[in-house]
Every structure is written in C-alpha cells, then in structure tokens.
C-alpha cells in the first residue's frame, strides 16, 4: 500500500493522495500496532509503519504543510528506531534535513544531515549511502562549507556509480537513481557557483538517465531554466520553462508551484519578449495562492 500510494504521489504530487494515506494509517495500520505479536513481527510492523508515516510526511511537505510534515518525520524516526532499522531512521532524518535546507535554516540543516550520515554509516546499499551523502553535500553548500560539500558530493558520486548495475530494492532510499543523483548534484554545483557543470548534470538527468515521474521531470526542467537564465542564455531558459509548464499540468505540488512563481518573477523583466510574456500567462494557474 505504501508503494502504491507513493507511486501516485511521485507522479502527481503529494496533494493527490495524502488523505488516502492518512485514512489507511488511522483505520487499518493503527489497530495492528495495538495488537499482539512476537518481537520479530513487531519490528517488521514498526518498520513498515515508519515507511508509511514518512510518506505521509513527504506528502504534507509537498503540499506546503511544513509543521505537519515535521511531526510525521519525527514519528517515522521513532518508529524506525523502535524497529532497529538504521536506514529508515536515516531516511526520516533526511526528510527533516531537506525541510531545513528548503527553509534556509543552515546550521540545523547541516547538523541533521550529519546525524543522518552518521546513522547510515554502516549501510551496504550504495544507493542509500549516495542518497544521504548527497543531502549532506547540499546542506554544506547552503552553509558555505565548500570543502565539506565537495567531499560529500564526491562520496555520493562514488556510491551511486557502484549502484549503477544493481536493481533498486524496496526501500525509499534504494530508489535513489543515477538520474535523481544527477539532478541533486547539479543543483549543489549551482549553489557552489559552477553553472556549467550544473547545466551538464541537469541535462544528463533529463536526457541520458531519464526521470520516470512527471513531478520529478517538471522540477528538473524548472531548475534547468533558472540555471540557463543565470548563464545568460534566455532562449534555452524559455525552452526549458516551456517544457516545464507542459509537464506540470495536473500536478499538485508546492514545489511545482514555487518553481512556477520563480519563473514568473524572473521573466517579468522580459516584457518585450513575446515568448516570455506567453510563458508568464501560462504559469498563472500554477502560482501558489
């Protein structure tokens, strides 16, 4: 059920299925937690519940409900700790770290990212290792620690390269693909000021490795448009943003809304460019209220 609900959210945004996930959690899973079971069954049940609770937190965050998301991530962490599952505990910490990064809380983001990496230090799945090290690199870049960001990004690259031939597992972290790594690393490089490498990485995420979810592809296209504009290539930015708007139709995600608002504001200075004016008009339905 967590996988089914997660697939829907990854395709169309967290706003589409959160009420279904919450109802399933309250009506079906909660009575099981109150039941009687052996210790191994209890650990498996707590681990599975941690994954579902984390998904609900991610859905809430994707709707812009940061306080609610934070509480769910905290519950997911406690459930994972009770289950004795370090990967799930690290995943919950990563949810909190990403939230802190997006809100600009630099010191908090860095400390939680460090704790996340420490929790995951003995994991064998290279995808999971890359997932958490990439988050640490992002937090370090936000904090202005170029040396730590560069080292963590190199570690994440080595790990994801080791995972390239192995099929993904069932966990949240094991679905961190080369394409998603290319997107995240590109945005970290952009934060560090390397716009050429950032453009190359985002291009790889879209064209070479592919992204199998519409929501993910839309966000990458929006980020690529922003980087093209920062490099002074208006035509490339307009092309990327046009593809972003096409991909965003029907997606309920605050990240897509914020990307549309960012594009809308940046194009305001190009009132004399017909294509820019057209894109702003098309973006208006996506703008957050």
Using DSSP, state whether 121 is helix, strand or coil.
Answer: coil
Does pLDDT of 167 surpass 70?
no
Do 103 and 63 contact (CB within 8 A), yes or no? Answer: no
> The tokens 């897509």 sit on which residue?
256
> What percent of the chain lies above the pLDDT cut of 90?
82
Instruction: Give the residue carrying structure tokens 């940061």.
Output: 66
Whole-number mean pLDDT of the chain? 93
pLDDT of residue 168: 65
Question: What pTM, to 2 d.p., does this model score?
Answer: 0.91
Long-range contacts of 72-81 (CB under 8 A, 24+ apart): 73/99, 76/50, 76/51, 77/50, 79/46, 79/47, 79/49, 79/50, 79/53, 80/46, 80/47, 80/50
**Residue 79 in contact with residue 33, Cβ under 8 Å?**
no
CB 181, CB 156: distance < 8 Å:
yes
Q: How many whole angstroms separate alpha carbon 213 and alpha carbon 244?
A: 13
Q: Is the pLDDT of residue 164 over 90?
A: no
Rounded to 10°, the helix 234-248/214-230 angle is 160
Contact (CB, 8 A) for 233 and 195: no
CA distance 90 to 115: 8
Q: What pLDDT is stored for residue 103 in this prediction?
A: 93
Residue written as tokens 């592809």? Answer: 217
Tell me 168's DSSP state.
P
Give yes or no for residue 210 having a pLDDT over 70. no
The CA-to-CA distance between both ends of the chain, in Å, stands at 32
14-53, pLDDT tens digit by residue?
A: 888 899 999 999 999 999 999 999 999 999 999 999 999 9
Tell which wins on pLDDT, 279 or 213. 279
CA pair distance 205, 221, nearest whole angstrom: 10
3-state secondary structure 196-247: HHHHHHHHHHHHHCCCCCHHHHHHHHHHHHHHHHHCCCHHHHHHHHHHHHHH
Per-residue pLDDT at 166 exceeds 90: no
Q: How confident is the model at residue 173 (pLDDT cuts 50, 70, 90)?
A: confident
Do residues 255 and 15 lie in contact, with contact meaning Cβ atoms separated by under 8 Å?
no
Asked if residue 56 lies in contact with residue 72, where contact means CB atoms within 8 angstroms, the answer is: yes
């Amino acid at each position: 059920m967590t996988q089914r609900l997660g697939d829907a959210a990854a395709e169309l945004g967290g706003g589409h299925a959160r009420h279904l996930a919450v109802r399933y959690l309250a009506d079906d899973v909660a009575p099981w937690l109150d039941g009687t079971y052996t210790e191994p069954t209890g650990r498996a049940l707590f681990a599975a519940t941690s994954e579902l609770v984390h998904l609900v937190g991610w859905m809430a965050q994707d709707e812009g409900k940061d306080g609610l998301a934070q509480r769910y991530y905290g519950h997911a962490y406690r459930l994972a700790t009770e289950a004795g599952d370090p990967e799930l505990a690290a995943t919950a910490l990563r949810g909190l770290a990403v939230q802190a990064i997006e809100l600009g809380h630099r010191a908090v983001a860095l400390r939680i990212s460090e704790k996340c990496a420490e929790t995951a230090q003995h994991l064998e799945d290279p995808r999971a290792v890359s997932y958490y090290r990439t988050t640490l690199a992002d937090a370090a870049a936000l904090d202005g620690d170029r040396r730590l960001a560069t080292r963590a990004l190199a570690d994440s690259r080595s790990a994801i390269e080791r995972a390239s031939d192995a099929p993904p597992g069932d966990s949240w972290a094991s679905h961190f693909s080369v394409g998603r790594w290319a997107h995240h690393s590109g945005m970290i490089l952009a934060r560090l000021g390397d716009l050429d490498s950032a453009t190359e990485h985002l291009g790889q995420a879209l064209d070479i490795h592919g992204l199998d979810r519409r929501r993910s592809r839309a966000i990458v296209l929006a980020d690529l448009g922003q980087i093209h504009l920062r490099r002074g290539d208006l035509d490339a930015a307009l092309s990327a943003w046009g593809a972003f708007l096409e991909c965003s139709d029907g997606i309920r995600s605050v990240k897509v809304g914020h990307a549309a608002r960012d594009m809308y504001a940046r194009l305001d200075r190009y009132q004399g460019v017909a294509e820019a004016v057209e894109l702003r008009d098309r973006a208006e339905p996506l703008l957050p209220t």
